[in-house]
Amino acid sequence: MSVTQYRRVAALAAVAGLGLALAACSTKGDDSSSSGDKVTITVDCMPVGSQKELLKDWNADVEAFQKLNPNITIKSVSVGAQCNNPPDFTARLAGGTVTDVFYAYMTDLQQVLDSGQAMEITQYVNKDVIPTWDSISKEAKAAFSEGDKLYGIPTKNYSMGLLYNKNLFQQAGLDAKNPPKTWEEVREAAKKIAALGNGIAGYSDYSAGNTGGWHFTAELFSQGGQVVTADGKKADFNNDLGKKVLQNLKDMRYTDKSMGEKQLLQWADLLTNAGAGKVGMFVGAPDATTAIVTQFQGKYQDWAMAPMPGQGGPAKGTLGGGEGYFFKKGLSKAQVEAGLKWLAYEKLTVGKGQFDYVRAKPENNPVGLPQPQLFIPGSDAFKADNDLKVANANVTVDDFALFANNPVPIKFEPANAQAIYAILDSAMSAILTNPNASVDDELKKAEDKVNQALAAAAK
Amino acid sequence: MPSATVAPSPVHASRPAAPARRPRKAGGQKITNNVTGYAFLIGAIICFALFSWYPMVRGFIMSFQRTRRGVTTWVGWDNYERILQDPSFWTAWKNTAYFTVLALVLGYAVPFVVAIIFNELRHARGYLRVLVYLPVMLPPASALFLYKYYAYDPSDAGLFNAVLKFLHLPTSQWMQSTSMAVPAMVLASTWMNMGGAVLIYLAALQNIPGSLYEAAELDGAGLFKRIRHVTIPQTKLILSLMAMLQVVATMQLFIEPLILANGAGTQDSATSVAYLIYQHGFFQNDLNGAAALGVIMLVVLGGFSAAYLRLSAKQE
């Protein structure tokens, strides 16, 4: 081959290769199809490779489901261990690359609807398709509804409480059976735990990556406050209740020095410290202990959970949130029905999928946590699930009994929650890192920004 | 050049022989050759078009639009007005400008000085070059995590604080301090990136003819005079090019606040313009506002580049 010919072949090969590469990058594929009786759907939030047991269970469930429903093919997609890391999720929504049945937080309804990616599924959902549908809490369903239109299926929910390290409580001379009930008691206990030294924070909190705003909201709810007005149009935290939240934190951080030096923490940072035994208390959901154990080398036996503390008495509310699945716009009736069947099997059937405690117990996945709280207390599904959970518990149920037996009224997250949390991070980080930061000024700044964001969202 | 194969005609013997005409290529051959050229070019054009030009045009259009319920409408200057009213807007520009100036002082001057020192060395130059270039080989995220968890730990256990304490100097909160956040980002960024700049300067320095230094020495020039009158003028072109690249790169400050400060830092002390774009687009569900801010940034950087080109044209 002459040099000229060689160059020509190389150039054509390069162009052909590029074409192939671009074709491979294309997001349009044959993933979402229904031909004849055969239906294929793509579903995300498959566990990642490092979650070996969970991934094995997921694959086994897909196989079993497909055997039961030979006309349905499930194509699983992994989108990271967190399933909804807000920037990745936003990119998938904006780029139109979400799967046919896609995972989202309860706070994401507005964003999903604005993107135009979700379809209404009201007409397809009933107890024939999802047998436990009538047992699922109304609040959880409401998080995926707008008016009387249903856009998604809730699959997990939580409410927050006070997680505490029993080991550190004992070392600090505190009674682990009688954890703090109020923010004043949290402050006192935090001082004693921090006095142990060795870089231990008596109480720890977030202030970055949207998690600071999330926890500000949770602590405001415990005071009886709300982040936005009832009509959702204005910020409603620049008041005495909001000031108490920040003042409590400022006092613990700088007056008591009980929150440690390291701040600007986001989700993984705090849980890493907790897993290393450097955190006495923090506000969280029951499954935070799962993350501490499975991802951050902690031990279940170190942790217990109490109800959310209140100001001078029991908490007036606790933040509730959760997750579920939306359906991508444009799916056929058969695809929606296949997706609902899969969710019913994997996420909403007692004894199967996420509720398969017999399988989870020997795998050391936690059984016995008071979460999810998806089924209405007293309903058939609630009772059946609870019985199975108690029979197979592998965590000490007593450690979570104070939380489970003293329910605090749940307040769900507001619309546009992630945008609000991003702004409130700034107030939390200021108070936790700058001794001269003014609580009043920080709340005012955040209020102005939230009002601006809400006005923009309403346009 | 006269052709060796064509004899000059007797009539024009006194004239130089005319060059032989190259045989005209057939039209088909010419097209085939051009096709080969275009085929090589098309890959680059497609890549630039897809990943650079199209996103820029799309971003510009998006900055005048709003999407609600999957429906996109034109909203004129609304997104720009909203972005200009964002309380973090001017803070982000101020931080970015501060970072750029500091990076110019530290990140621009230090590599040049290091390169001059290396150039003067007779021994171990190769080892030192490797040593300075090593941080460039670390993925930027890993390098920044090293700084975040080991160097900038605000407790006394942090590397820098431990050294400061050992020297009986006051310690710092580093990224948690409103006054230290930007200098700390500059320090980490300079450490991470200076290796590449040092090698480029070193290559430029080694191209300076040794005779110029000898002449300067004969004229009695000391080290500083040699640098001022020989080194700097001889590397002016590369110095000015690196200055422009440095400014354009540092104005796009993003990964440092993202990793070192987990975002905006204390009271927005680490927020950069690029991070603000990211925050609007991916945390506040405001892709149109993010596009508007991106266009503003493009205009500013474009203005700077135009001014640079004009200045360098004048100098030439």
pLDDT recorded at residue B21: 54
Q: How confident is the model at residue A221 (pLDDT cuts 50, 70, 90)?
A: very high
Work out the minimum CA distance from B256 to partner chain A, whole angstroms: 14
Closest partner residue to A419 among B47, B66, B283, by Cβ? B283
Token pair for residue B90? 């001017």
**Is B86 close to A449, i.e. CB distance below 8 A?**
yes
pLDDT of B224 higher than 80:
yes
B50 contacts in chain A (CB < 8 Å): 22
pLDDT at B141 over 50: yes
Question: What is the mean predicted confidence (pLDDT) over A199-214?
Answer: 94
Inter-chain contacts counted by CB atoms under 8 A, chains A and B: 130
B1 vs B184, residue with greater confidence? B184
Res A17: pLDDT:
44
Q: How close A436 gets to chain B, by Cα (Å)?
A: 11
Q: Considering only B12-16, B92-96, B213-217, B301-305, which range has the smallest mean pLDDT?
A: B12-16
Q: Are A383 and A351 spatial neighbours (Cβ–Cβ below 8 Å)?
A: no
Best mutation target among B38, B174, B262, B287 (most A Cβ atoms within 10 Å) is B262
Contact state of A87 with B67 under an 8 Å Cβ cutoff: no
Verify whether the Cβ–Cβ distance B264 to A262 is below 8 Å.
Answer: no
B173 and chain A: CB distance < 8 Å anywhere? Answer: yes
Residue B222 has pLDDT above 90, yes or no: no
Q: What is the pLDDT of residue B165?
A: 93
How much is the pLDDT for A340? 97
> What is the pTM (predicted TM-score) of this model?
0.83
Nearest CA in chain A to B262: A208
Mean pLDDT of chain B: 86
Q: Given CB atoms, is A26 within the 8 Å cutoff of chain B?
A: no
DSSP string, B28-86: HHHHHHHHHHHHHHHHHHHHHIIIIIHHHHHHHHHTTEEEETTEEEE-TTHHHHHHHH-
The yes-or-no verdict on residue A19 having pLDDT over 60 is no
What residues 378-417 of chain A have any CB closer than 8 A to a CB of chain B? 416
Is the Cβ–Cβ distance between B184 and B106 less than 8 Å?
Answer: no
Average model confidence (pLDDT) across chain A: 89
Beta bridge partners of A203: A281
- Asked if the model's pLDDT at residue B47 lies above 90, the reply is yes
Residue B258, pLDDT score: 94
Which stretch of A5-19, A60-74, A328-342, B204-218 has the lowest confidence by average pLDDT?
A: A5-19
pLDDT of residue A453: 86
What one-character DSSP code corresponds to residue A136?
Answer: B
Query: Which CA distances in Å does A347 have to A172, A353, B142, B225?
Result: 41, 6, 37, 77
pLDDT at position B315: 67
> At residue B56, what is the residue type?
M
pLDDT at B184: 96
Tens of pLDDT, residues A36-84: 579 999 999 999 988 888 899 999 999 999 999 999 999 999 998 878 8
A17 φ, ψ (degrees, to nearest 5): -60, -45
Q: How confident is the model at residue A217 (pLDDT cuts 50, 70, 90)?
A: very high
Sign of CA pseudo-dihedral B239, B241, B242, B247: positive
* Residues 233-292 (B) with a CB less than 8 A from some CB of A: 261-268, 278-279, 281-287, 289
Closest residue, chain B, to A10 (C-alpha): B40
- Cα angle vertex B41, ends B37, B43, to 5°? 135
Q: What is the pLDDT of residue B5?
A: 38
Q: Are A42 and A77 in contact (CB under 8 A)?
A: yes
Each residue's pLDDT tens digit, A381-427: 999 999 999 899 988 889 999 999 998 999 988 888 888 998 999 99
* Residue-wise pLDDT tens digits, B160-187: 999 999 999 999 999 999 999 999 999 9
Q: Does B14 touch chain A (CB under 8 A)?
A: no
A15 falls in which pLDDT band (50, 70, 90)?
very low
Please give the ipTM for the structure prediction.
Answer: 0.82
User: Does the pLDDT at position B302 exceed 70?
Assistant: yes
* Yes or no, beta carbons of B268 and A426 under 8 Å apart: yes
Interface check B157 vs A, CB under 8 A: yes
- Judging contacts by C-beta atoms under 8 Å, the chain B residues touching residue A12 are 39
Region for residue A290 given its phi and psi (left: phi exceeds 0; alpha: psi -120 to 50; beta: otherwise) = alpha
Chain A residues touching residue B282 (CB < 8 angstroms): 86-87, 90-91
The pLDDT tens digits for A114-124 are 999 999 999 99
pLDDT of residue A6: 46
Is A215 a residue whose pLDDT tops 50?
yes
Q: How many Cα atoms are found within 13 Å in the side-chain-facing hemisphere of A287?
A: 12
Report the C-alpha gap between B75 and B287 in whole angstroms. Answer: 14
Residue A73: enclosing H or E segment and its boundaries? strand A72-76
- Residue range A299-353, pLDDT digits in tens: 888 999 999 999 999 999 999 999 999 999 999 999 999 999 999 999 999 999 9
Which has more confidence, B139 or A29? B139
Q: What does the pLDDT look like over B68-88, one tens digit per residue?
A: 888 999 999 999 999 998 888
Mean pLDDT of B247-251: 89
Q: Give CA B128 to chain center in angstroms.
A: 24
Report yes or no: B51 at the A interface, CB cutoff 8 Å. no
d(CA B55, CA B256): 24
Top-confidence residue, A221 or B87:
A221
- For residues A152 and A32, which has the higher predicted lDDT (pLDDT)? A152
A16 touches chain B (CB under 8 A): no
Cβ distance B261 to A264 less than 8 Å, yes or no, reads: yes
Q: To the nearest whole angstrom, how far is the Cα of A441 from the nearest Cα of chain B? A: 11
To the nearest 5 percent, what fractions of chain A are helix, strand and coil? 45, 15, 35
Q: Are A137 and A322 in contact (CB under 8 A)?
A: no
Chain A nearest CA to B284, separation (Å): 4
What pLDDT does residue A307 have? 97
Distance from the B128 Cα atom to the nearest Cα atom in chain A, whole angstroms: 35
Task: Look at residues B274, B293, B286, B282 and name the one whose alpha carbon lies nearest to residue A453.
Answer: B286
The residue in chain B having the minimum alpha-carbon distance to the alpha carbon of residue A263 is B176
Q: Kindly determine whether residue B267 and residue A434, on different chains, have CB atoms separated by under 8 Å.
A: yes
Is residue B97 a contact partner of residue B301, using CB atoms and an 8 Å limit?
Answer: no
Q: Residue A459: pLDDT band by 50, 70, 90 thresholds?
A: confident
Give the pLDDT mean for A14-22: 41
**pLDDT reported for residue A391:** 92
Query: Measured between alpha carbons, how far is A426 from A429 in angstroms, rounded to an integer?
Result: 5
With a cut of 90, say whether residue B102 has pLDDT above it: yes
With cut-offs at 50, 70 and 90, classify the pLDDT of residue B23.
low
B151's tokens: 């160097």
